[in-house]
Amino acid sequence: MAPILYMLPPCPPVRAVLMTAKELGLELELRKCNILNKEQYTEEYLKMNPSHTIPTLDDDGFYIFESAAIMGYLVGKYGKNDSLYPREFKKRALVDQLLHFSTQSFATFVTISRPIILAAAKKESITEDNKNRLLGNVEVLEKILGLENKFVGGDNLTIADFSFVAWVSSLNVMYPITEDRFPNVIRWWKRMEKLPSYQENNEGLTQYKGIWAARE
């Protein structure tokens, strides 16, 4: 029985999990949970995920939420090796560090973009300070990547790359991430786009763009 993923494709953390599964060659049973319609507050869903977020994974009755935890779990259980999430404690600590930063950055992105997505505020309501907060996180990513790093953790692809590229590509819909300001990010992003697993991000990102455009 394939693990079940409760999801909504436009959601960046969902896309990160989908990219991970694709990279692992793992088939997931996808079940939509439309958070815009508050489907995450049903009694059944709250039993699986009391924090009422997406994604949520149901692996034969074992429930887990938070995308970083789901990605690590999938690699640990279904990966042929540990390259996406190393077992060696220093390498894993580096990936965990990156995942924590990515999660915090995404939380900032959600706080600022959610009122617009829910049509409770207009795009013009985003202050210059909030714009600087969002792009400031990209500036940190720019420094993390450096001139030599192929991926966020060095030369090897990890689940941290999926986490970052999901929200960075979404932020780009709000504010263009330009090569003149973020050359390392653009170089890394282009490398990510060449991966077959990136298609999982592209499909949800197209839907996200549609939602954002509808809020004009």
In tens digits, what is the pLDDT along the chain, a chain of 216 residues?
899 999 999 999 999 999 999 999 999 999 999 988 899 999 999 999 999 999 999 999 999 999 999 999 999 999 999 999 999 999 999 999 999 999 999 998 888 887 777 764 455 567 777 788 889 999 999 999 997 789 999 999 999 999 999 999 999 998 889 999 999 999 999 999 999 999 999 999 999 999 888 766
- 100 and 180 inside one domain: yes
Question: What domain count does the chain have?
Answer: 2
**Which of 78, 110, 132 is the C-terminal boundary of a domain?**
78
pTM comes to 0.94
Question: Does 181 reside within a domain?
Answer: yes
- 99 and 204 inside one domain: yes
Domain encompassing residue 96 = 89-214
Question: Does 208 reside within a domain?
Answer: yes
pLDDT (0 to 100) of residue 63: 98
- 186 and 111 inside one domain: yes
Instruction: Please provide the DSSP assignment of the chain as one string.
Output: -PPEEEE-TTSHHHHHHHHHHHHHT---EEEE--GGGTGGGSHHHHHH-TT--S-EEEETTEEEESHHHHHHHHHHHH-SSSTTS--SHHHHHHHHHHHHHHHHHHHHHHHHHHHHHTTSS-GGG--HHHHHHHHHHHHHHHHHHTTT-SBTTBSS--HHHHHHHHHHHHHHHHS---TTT-HHHHHHHHHHHTSTTHHHHHHHHHHHHHHHHHT-
- 14 and 58 inside one domain: yes
